[in-house]
Amino acid sequence: MKTKINEAITEVLKQFGEKYFIEDVLHKNKVIQDLDNYDAILLEAFISNETLKSNFTIDIAGNIVLQTNKLIELFEADEYWQDSYTKYSKKIGLTAGGKFIDESTDVVLDFPYKDTVLKASMSKEDTDKDDLRPDEPFLNEVIAKEEIDVLLDKKILFNAKKYDENGVREVDRFDEHDNLIMKGNNLLALHTLKEKYAGKVKLIYIDPPYNTGGDSFLYNDRFNHSTWLTFMKSRLEIARDLLSEDGSIWINIDDDEQAYLKVLCDNVFGRENFVNNVIWEKRYSPTNDSKWLSDSHDIILLYAKNKEIWRPNLLPRSEKQNQYYKYDDNDGRGRWRSDNVLVKSFSQSGVFAITNPNTGEEHYPPKGSCYRFNKETAERYLLENRFYFGKDGKGRPQLKRYLSEVKQGVTPMTIWFREDVTDNQEANKEARAFGFETVFSTPKPEKLIQRVIHLGSNESDLVLDFFMGSSTTQAVAHKMNRRYIGIEQMDYINTVSVPRLQKVIEGEQGGISKDVDWQGGGSFVYVELMEKNRGFLQSIHDAETETDLRKVLEFMVEEAEIDFRVDLEKVKDTLDELLLEEQKKTLIKIIDKNQLYYNYSEIDDENVRDLISDNDYHFNKNFYDEGGE
């Protein structure tokens, strides 16, 4: 299997002529021997290669150190993989150095690398089917380290279209100011975006599966917390890379995983960058069928990329807050209200007399307290008529607090009441208003997302939501004049998410539309990650009989990327011995999971180029800044 790492190693070793090759076959033992002996020339060559440097070095006090042990493990592991084409994937047991104990004398207990990069039953569309639910096929796949660079490489984009006031049309160019909607696995889509958008996203809001067992994230309970956290970790790590230095991420979650997610986020973003837990009152009335306490709130975890420089915007002042400024002296300073002249912390400089100019009476602060300003400031306030002595002018001094001089905004608090940002009931009403068939169990109201976007971004900033769902985040960002990216894998992206954004462009008046005087307009670009093996997964799901499944297998043998560790002949010989459901699981297991989508590096391959329209070909070249016209 060709990977970037393997290609980089070959490139480095070729520099030494025939030293490490015997008739173009790599002499691995010689390489391992020189690595083990710290051959200076060979080590320097490895460090000089950027791909190998990024994967096999660490920085210690400013010194680059090559991890020769990892390189040696790679060569030894690669030797194992090359020898294991005949090993059947169901073989399990104790291993040593990646080999089963019948191949090695050193025995250790080895756990396979679990990577939940695929669907993981992210919607009831999958989990309502009983065929694969007992053994979620997209979890706990073993992915060799040298394969991960292929898995996470940027993908070919196809079916590029632009939606605007004039409808929808094909597009072969992408502008950096375009809004973007992507259909495909969100982890692979995020890595596809990394090169173009790293450090450019101002705000990320996500509403991931809550892992309650009652929502849409259902899988084998044996991997309950570990699988969900692995699933989240891989996505949060790339999300961190996409955030700008002054950016922030807001994660909507409930009590079931909040504590675990907080610890995970401390690890990913740094505990020092934790800002707050926001409590959102999502429900007003109690649910009487609750066994314990009725759940009435969600939590929004807030982390900054760099807390030292990140600051939230202030909330706008309400008329209710301004109504107390009801007096006006017509002196050009505007409305004011009375305020206390005393301060809690004591200072001797704040102990003096203020003379009421109307009565001549001197007023000292009460014993043990002091004024909040010194004597010189008090004298200036008297000259500027900034003291209020009561309606009859004969009372003790109070300060005039002018509306024009107070902070023109309100510092946000960590409890958000439904009266301010609405609740789930309002969110469901908003969703039903569109008339779409798919109804989400826990949509979020536009006012809630409006507050998040207001606090964490400004106009024209880039907002990302990679659990797009019904596209509430994108709809609100569109109305608030933010740029946005949305990612969704499920097919309802074309029956719910995109149609909703089309209605936003048309000027729909739901949600926050009236608050922001939304009149319609704008545009977005839609693309899909180009499927490869993922199409075979769907064919396996759809097969209704063993005959149908046998036809799928025959097609897979000709066209699909099969995991090279599988004994394909044994699979074909033994498949008929299994029940239909088990046959499906077996075929899913043998598919190479890091080949679900076509990598962009393959776009000029003859057999791939024929699958792509000229329009999509030029779009890819332009999107990846490779001179596409």
DSSP track, 145-178: HHHHHHHTS-B-EEEEEEEETTEEEE-S---TTS
CB atoms near residue 320 (< 10 Å): 7
- Whether pTM exceeds 0.75: no
Report the distance separating Cα 3 and Cα 558, nearest Å. Answer: 22
Instruction: Classify residue 359 by its DSSP letter.
Output: T
Mean pLDDT of 475-503: 94
Which carries the bigger pLDDT value, residue 133 or residue 310?
Answer: 310
pLDDT for residue 471: 94
Domain ranges of the chain: 4-83, 124-129+132-315+412-529, 319-405
Strand order in the sheet with 524-529: 167-170, 157-164, 524-529, 180-183, 483-488, 462-465, 201-206, 243-253, 297-304, 274-281, 415-416
Over 70: is that where the pLDDT of 400 sits?
yes
Of 141-145, 207-211, 473-477, the one with minimum mean pLDDT is 141-145
Of 7-11, 88-92, 427-431, 525-529, least confident by mean pLDDT is: 88-92
Q: Quote the pLDDT of residue 269.
A: 96
Q: Name the residue with higher pLDDT: 482 or 222.
A: 482
320-335 mean pLDDT: 86
- Tens of pLDDT, residue by residue over 267-312, are 999 999 999 999 998 887 777 677 788 788 999 999 999 999 999 9
Between 248-262, 333-347, 595-609, the lowest mean confidence (pLDDT) is in: 595-609
**What tokens does 225 get?**
């917390």
Instruction: Give yes or no for a contact between 161 and 90, defined as CB atoms under 8 angstroms apart.
Output: no
pLDDT of residue 627: 53
Confidence label for 63 from pLDDT (cuts 50, 70 and 90) = confident
Mean pLDDT of 493-520: 94
Mean pLDDT of 370-392: 94
At 69, is the pLDDT very low, low, confident or very high (cuts 50, 70, 90)? confident
pLDDT greater than 60 at residue 606: yes
Show the DSSP H helices in 287-407 as ranges: 319-322, 375-383
Contact at 8 Å (CB) between 506 and 512? Answer: no
Fold of 124-129+132-315+412-529: Rossmann fold (3.40.50)
Distance CA 534, CA 492 (A): 17
pLDDT-derived band of residue 397, with 50, 70 and 90 as boundaries?
Answer: very high
Mean pLDDT of 240-244: 97
In 10 A of CB 2, how many CB atoms? Answer: 9
Any idea which of 106-110, 190-194, 387-391, 483-487 has the lowest mean pLDDT? 106-110
* Average pLDDT for 135-160: 66
Q: What is the mean pLDDT of residues 231-235?
A: 87
According to the model, what pLDDT value does residue 224 have? 61
Report, as an integer, the average pLDDT of 178-187.
93
What integer pLDDT is reported at residue 559 of this predicted model?
75
Residue 385 has pLDDT above 70, yes or no: yes
Question: What pLDDT score was predicted for residue 20?
Answer: 84
Say whether pLDDT at 544 is over 80.
yes
Name the more confident of 37 and 288.
Answer: 37
Rounded Cα–Cα distance for residues 424 and 593 (Å): 37
Task: Quote the pLDDT of residue 84.
Answer: 31
Q: Which amino acid is at 111?
A: F
pLDDT at 595: 67
Helix residue spans in 243-371 (DSSP H): 258-269, 319-322
Which of 218-227, 276-285, 430-439, 452-461 is predicted least confidently? 218-227
Contact 540, 132 (CB under 8 A): no
More confident residue, 471 or 573: 471
Q: How far is CA 153 from the centre of its chain?
A: 17
- Res. 80: pLDDT tops 70: no
Both tokens of 527, joined, read 């693309």
> Helix or strand or coil: residue 304?
strand
- Cβ atoms of 46 and 66 within 8 Å: the answer is yes
Contact by Cβ (8 Å): 487, 179: no
Segment 224-231 shows an average pLDDT of: 73
Overall average pLDDT of the 566-580 stretch: 84
Higher pLDDT, 93 or 460: 460
Which of the given ranges, 216-230, 535-549, 551-565, has the highest pLDDT on average? 535-549
> CA 544 to CA 552: how far, in whole Å?
11
pLDDT of residue 411: 87
Write down the residue that tokens 């294991």 correspond to: 84
Top pLDDT among 461 and 114 is at: 461
Residue 530 pLDDT exceeds 80: yes
- Would you state the pLDDT for residue 97? 52
Close Cβ partners of 549 (under 8 Å, ≥ 6 residues apart): 540, 543, 580, 583, 584, 587
What percent of the chain clears pLDDT 90, i.e. is strictly above it?
A: 44
Higher pLDDT, 73 or 37: 37
What's the CA gap between 77 and 340, in Å, rounded? 74
When pLDDT is averaged across residues 34-52 and rounded to a whole number, the result is 90
Q: What is the pLDDT of residue 337?
A: 92
Nearest-angstrom CA–CA distance, 592 and 589:
8
Nearest to 282 by CA among 425, 420, 467: 425
Q: In Å, how far are 209, 225, 467, 533 from 126, measured between CA atoms? A: 14, 20, 16, 18
Q: What three-state secondary structure class fits 350?
A: helix
Q: Which segment of 9-23, 238-252, 536-550, 551-565 scores lowest on mean pLDDT?
A: 551-565
For residue 524, give the nearest of 174, 172, 156 by alpha carbon. Answer: 174
Number of residues that this document lists for the chain: 629
Q: For residues 446 and 21, give the distance between their C-alpha atoms in angstroms, rounded to a whole number.
A: 63
pLDDT at 504 over 90: yes
pLDDT of residue 593: 63
